[in-house]
Chain A
């Protein structure tokens, strides 16, 4: 082992706060680097929605498609993409950092606290958008035609990605609040009521009773409607309205989920 103190002299070292942007990019870069090193956390998020998309089309398109007079492949593509992007986050890694003390190491540096969360979310956004693309390509390969063209496709991916991003607020809130991997994994159960108590398999008009009521208040209904409009309708006021409703639904959900995550971050970094 060489003696550090007697190593060749270097430039003068002046520790200082790096600035918000550097903090943010540094944390995000680290999070992005981790993604391909943990393929087990990404591959299922890609395979499962494609599997169910193909399965649902095979099993339900004749029944549901004919009954509701819809192109079921186009109708289900947004569901497959939402499945791919919902619940994918670095929250489990964050819990690992908390448990092994690395989170403490980071908080002893001059890093600002907000980038510790936002940097992870930036990486999540990149990942979920990357996950949306192959699912979209499978849909195109199966014959789905975007009536809004390439701009609509791009908006489709961005809107899906932002939905995936705001959903991460929930697992991050749980991760920061509890520091418990079990609790973070359990947060996935929130995915089911949000995605299935909605217009996942049939149009809203076909829903009845309590399910219709729940779907009316479920933001997922409006997100799916907006995404479906981008696939099945040409650019029009109606399409813009559906997309606008979807943006509002994502925004409302995000307001709650990101607020919860920020509150949990504040609690975590506040010195006990």
Chain B
């Protein structure tokens, strides 16, 4: 277990009759960025709270930095830094006071404290505002200060619970850069929960997908996407003669064709090679094509295939406009749907 930073064995948490986390097994290597992907209410935050010693598991075991989260919480706390879902700050302190208090509670000597606060100030990048009360900060500044507070004692393992929810794109990119740097240059293990596809895709060495408290898939982003198998050509059409479907199906390399409203989803092993023949087939059958796009499978396609629903309901979620990260409400419907029959993923790559 030495090279493993986080291990869980059938870890579960029950609230009343509801299992928020229901038997999750994880093995996360030291220095790895592990993305935990799932919609609101899937159980991400509950798992983080168990691993951070805030909640006791109802079943199973969890080990962080080699210590049992249920039996050795004091030892776990020394090794972890945590930025919870909502920036947990005291608005009546200044940023500097908050960081200094945090450092004092981790037993840092005064000289180390001063040096460390100065160092993390380079991260939060809020200039002279660091000496202003936190109630004057913007949402993005609060998130960055929250991250700095989590890093003040140079933790071995960092838990980031939806760290970029509510951030503008620029701030989000900055957090991503920092997360990568922490991993590459300090070897910090990072457990990152997110509901943003591109965040998991960009940052994580491996991704775990959680749905209804259960881990439904795990692997590198590329490996997970390969399980979906094919590229997708999305054709938006104004008119679609019935013969068009057969014409497209007849194109070499096309594996499946699904028509949904004014969209034709054409699954092909090599999308780039099939693009032109598909366009010709549509044109030849009399279809009026408004646009034709090729995209590779996304993690949303993986999620859709595994759970029958999309991970993200709308584009707003991907640009930080939706700041409701509550983990007690399932914002994504779970009605069964045929894989491949959904709309293109908002977080999908072109």
A residues in contact (CB < 8 Å) with B:
1-8, 10-19, 22-23, 26, 29-30, 33-34, 37-38, 93, 97, 100-102, 104-111, 271-272
Asked if B78 and A110 make an inter-chain contact with CB atoms under 8 angstroms apart, the answer reads yes
Per-residue contact bits, chain B 38-61, to A (CB 8 Å; 1 contact, 0 not): 000000000000001111100000
* In the complex with contacts A4-B122, A5-B185, A108-B53 CB distance below 8 A: yes
Asked if A106 and B93 make an inter-chain contact with CB atoms under 8 angstroms apart, the answer reads no
* In the complex with contacts A16-B107, A37-B133, A107-B78 CB distance below 8 A: no
CA distance A112 to B232 in the complex (A): 56
CA distance A54 to B302 in the complex (A): 75
Nearest-neighbor residue (CB-CB) of B148 within chain A: A4
Query: Other than the known A4-B151, A30-B90, A109-B77, what 5 A-B pairs have Cβ atoms closer than 8 Å?
Result: A4-B178, A13-B108, A23-B105, A110-B77, A110-B105
Nearest-neighbor residue (CB-CB) of B181 within chain A: A5
Our pick among B105, B149, B181 for the contact of A26 (Cβ within 8 Å) is B105
Asked if A101 and B84 make an inter-chain contact with CB atoms under 8 angstroms apart, the answer reads yes
B residues in contact (CB < 8 Å) with A:
52-56, 73-74, 77-80, 82, 84, 86, 88-93, 97, 101-102, 104-108, 111-112, 115-116, 118-120, 122-123, 125, 133, 144, 149, 151, 153-155, 174, 177-178, 181-182, 184-186
> A11, A13, A33, A34 — which one has the most chain B CB atoms within 10 A of its CB?
A13
Our pick among B92, B115, B149, B174 for the contact of A10 (Cβ within 8 Å) is B115
Asked if B54 and A108 make an inter-chain contact with CB atoms under 8 angstroms apart, the answer reads yes
12 intermolecular pairs with C-beta atoms under 8 Å apart: A2-B125, A4-B123, A13-B112, A18-B104, A18-B106, A33-B97, A34-B92, A101-B86, A108-B54, A108-B82, A109-B106, A110-B78
CA distance A22 to B106 in the complex (A): 10
Q: Which residues of chain A are within 8 angstroms of B186 by Cβ–Cβ distance?
A: 5
Q: How far is the CB of A269 from chain B (nearest CB, A)?
A: 10
Q: How far is the CB of B94 from chain A (nearest CB, A)?
A: 9
Asked if A19 and B107 make an inter-chain contact with CB atoms under 8 angstroms apart, the answer reads yes
Asked if A109 and B102 make an inter-chain contact with CB atoms under 8 angstroms apart, the answer reads yes
Asked if A105 and B184 make an inter-chain contact with CB atoms under 8 angstroms apart, the answer reads no
Asked if B119 and A7 make an inter-chain contact with CB atoms under 8 angstroms apart, the answer reads yes
Asked if A102 and B89 make an inter-chain contact with CB atoms under 8 angstroms apart, the answer reads yes
CA distance A38 to B135 in the complex (A): 13
Q: Which residues of chain B are within 8 angstroms of A4 by Cβ–Cβ distance?
A: 119-120, 122-123, 151, 178, 181-182
Our pick among A3, A104, A110 for the contact of B54 (Cβ within 8 Å) is A104
Asked if B78 and A271 make an inter-chain contact with CB atoms under 8 angstroms apart, the answer reads no
CA distance A17 to B80 in the complex (A): 13
Asked if A272 and B154 make an inter-chain contact with CB atoms under 8 angstroms apart, the answer reads no
Nearest-neighbor residue (CB-CB) of A107 within chain B: B54
CA distance A106 to B89 in the complex (A): 10
Q: How far is the CB of B123 from chain A (nearest CB, A)?
A: 4
Q: How far is the CB of A190 from chain B (nearest CB, A)?
A: 26
Asked if A15 and B184 make an inter-chain contact with CB atoms under 8 angstroms apart, the answer reads no
Nearest-neighbor residue (CB-CB) of B81 within chain A: A108
CA distance A26 to B90 in the complex (A): 14
Q: Which residues of chain B are within 8 angstroms of A107 by Cβ–Cβ distance?
A: 54
Q: How far is the CB of B341 from chain A (nearest CB, A)?
A: 40
Q: Which residues of chain A are within 8 angstroms of B122 by Cβ–Cβ distance?
A: 2-4, 7
Our pick among A3, A33, A97 for the contact of B178 (Cβ within 8 Å) is A3
Q: Which residues of chain B are within 8 angstroms of A38 by Cβ–Cβ distance?
A: 92
Q: Which residues of chain B are within 8 angstroms of A18 by Cβ–Cβ distance?
A: 104-107
Q: Which residues of chain B are within 8 angstroms of A108 by Cβ–Cβ distance?
A: 52-54, 77, 80, 82
Q: How far is the CB of A38 from chain B (nearest CB, A)?
A: 7
Asked if A15 and B153 make an inter-chain contact with CB atoms under 8 angstroms apart, the answer reads yes
Q: Which residues of chain A are within 8 angstroms of B73 by Cβ–Cβ distance?
A: 271
Asked if A11 and B115 make an inter-chain contact with CB atoms under 8 angstroms apart, the answer reads yes
